[in-house]
């Protein structure tokens, strides 16, 4: 472990020197790549430096304790040794986590797709609630949100809404949201006061660039049509909406929110690239799960991941058995407690796997 840490620290110092080189700074792409690499190493190197400093302090404290004759000072030094030992252990555990393989998409922005599931109008309203929740969450973390396409419901909410989130740590914080979200409440459309159960699905896809996913123009079928809103009312009088079909996979993406045909096509291709990348990752995960058989359940989106129970004011994440009794706060974007618990659980399982390998 420490040999690897020394190597990474050396690389961190090299990156800092390269960033200070005027010729490198003049190359925007090269400089941005160095900035990303530095950012990925910074916490690890800082933690390792704190670890080595604490180790030196512990060694000094033990040396002083071995020579100390005064009982009162000896007691103080024993306390200091104990404290430093605890600090070293905490930093060592943190270093183990920081040395875990990083997700290849950790630095990527995301495209989020929310669709109404079972439950009719109430499912669409719930999809709208989830959209607002993620919008508030994005505001708290100062992420930039851009709506790509939507299909509103006449009763409120969305049958489907797709948007992008850009900013720091977007993918690591949002990746656990993929799956089936279930709501239990009395719908606004229910006159008898009965509690209904509805669902919405969320897909969080890392946004990829054209260089990451190559799409041959000959593999695309592009149709244009007139945008429409709820009830079929015409939104505009030009054929600005775009439907892109990827012939090899049969994937279809439609965008109509912009008045410009070119902008709608660009958004559709962004969504298509993200879906193609996600499909490739999903196939790889399924193959790994089949080979290793280490978990119960596939982890696919068909599985219910979270329940929002309005009568009891609680949210339960079924993957880790976490229940939070602050439903309204979470719907206002206070998701960090749930996200952090999911991240720590994933890290603990990864550390266990590392220990068994």
Instruction: Give the residue extent of every domain in the chain.
Output: 2-98, 110-294+302-351
Structure tokens at 318: 């079924």
CB atoms under 10 Å from CB of 10, counted, come to 11
| φ, ψ for residue 207, nearest 5 deg | -80, 130
Looking at residue 244, the DSSP 8-state letter turns out to be: E
pLDDT at 230 over 90: no
Looking at residue 207, the DSSP 8-state letter turns out to be: -
Q: What is the pTM of this model?
A: 0.72
Q: Are 252 and 244 spatial neighbours (Cβ–Cβ below 8 Å)? A: yes
115 alpha carbon, distance to own chain's centre: 18
Domain 110-294+302-351 has CATH 3.30.70.1660: yes
Q: For residue 216, name the pLDDT band (cuts at 50, 70, 90).
A: confident
Q: What pLDDT digit, counting tens, does each position of 238-250 carry? A: 678 999 999 999 9
CB atoms under 10 Å from CB of 354, counted, come to 12
Per CATH, the architecture of 2-98 is what?
Up-down Bundle (1.20)
Q: What pLDDT digit, counting tens, does each position of 77-104 carry? A: 999 999 999 999 999 988 988 888 888 7
Percent of the chain with pLDDT over 90: 56
Whole-number Å distance between alpha carbons of 80 and 75: 9
Q: Are 337 and 321 spatial neighbours (Cβ–Cβ below 8 Å)? A: no
pLDDT at 354 over 90: no
């Amino acid at each position: 472990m420490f040999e690897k840490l020394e190597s990474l620290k050396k690389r961190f110092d090299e990156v800092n020197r390269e960033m200070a080189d005027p010729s490198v700074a003049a190359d925007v792409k090269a400089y941005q790549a160095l900035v990303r690499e530095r950012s990925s190493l910074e916490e690890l190197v800082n933690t390792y430096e704190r670890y080595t400093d604490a180790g030196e302090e512990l060694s000094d404290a033990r040396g002083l304790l071995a020579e100390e004759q005064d009982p009162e000072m000896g007691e103080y030094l024993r306390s200091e040794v104990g404290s430093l030992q605890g600090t070293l252990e905490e930093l060592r555990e943190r270093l183990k986590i920081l040395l875990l393989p990083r997700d290849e998409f950790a630095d990527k922005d995301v495209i989020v797709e929310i669709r109404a599931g079972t439950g009719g109008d109430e499912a669409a309203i719930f999809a709208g609630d989830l959209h607002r929740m993620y919008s508030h969450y994005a505001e708290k973390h100062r992420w930039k949100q851009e709506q790509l396409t939507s299909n509103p419901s006449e009763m409120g909410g969305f049958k489907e809404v797709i948007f992008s989130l850009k900013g720091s740590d977007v993918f690591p914080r949002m990746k656990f949201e993929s799956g089936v979200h279930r709501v239990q409440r009395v719908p606004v459309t229910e006159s008898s006061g009965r509690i209904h159960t509805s669902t919405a699905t969320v897909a969080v896809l890392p946004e990829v660039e054209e260089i990451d996913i190559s799409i041959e123009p000959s593999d695309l079928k592009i149709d244009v049509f007139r945008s429409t809103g709820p009830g079929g009312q015409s939104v505009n009088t030009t054929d600005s909406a775009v439907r892109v079909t990827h012939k090899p996979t049969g994937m279809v993406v439609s965008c109509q929110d912009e008045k410009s045909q070119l902008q709608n096509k660009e958004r559709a291709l962004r969504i298509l690239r993200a879906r193609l990348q996600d499909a490739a990752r999903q196939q790889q995960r399924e193959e790994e799960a089949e080979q290793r058989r280490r978990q119960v359940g596939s982890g696919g989106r068909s599985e219910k991941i979270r329940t929002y129970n309005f009568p009891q004011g609680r949210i339960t994440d079924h993957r880790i058995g976490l229940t939070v009794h602050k439903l309204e706060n979470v719907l206002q974007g206070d998701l960090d407690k749930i996200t952090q618990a999911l991240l720590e659980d994933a890290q603990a399982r990864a550390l266990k796997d590392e220990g068994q390998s």
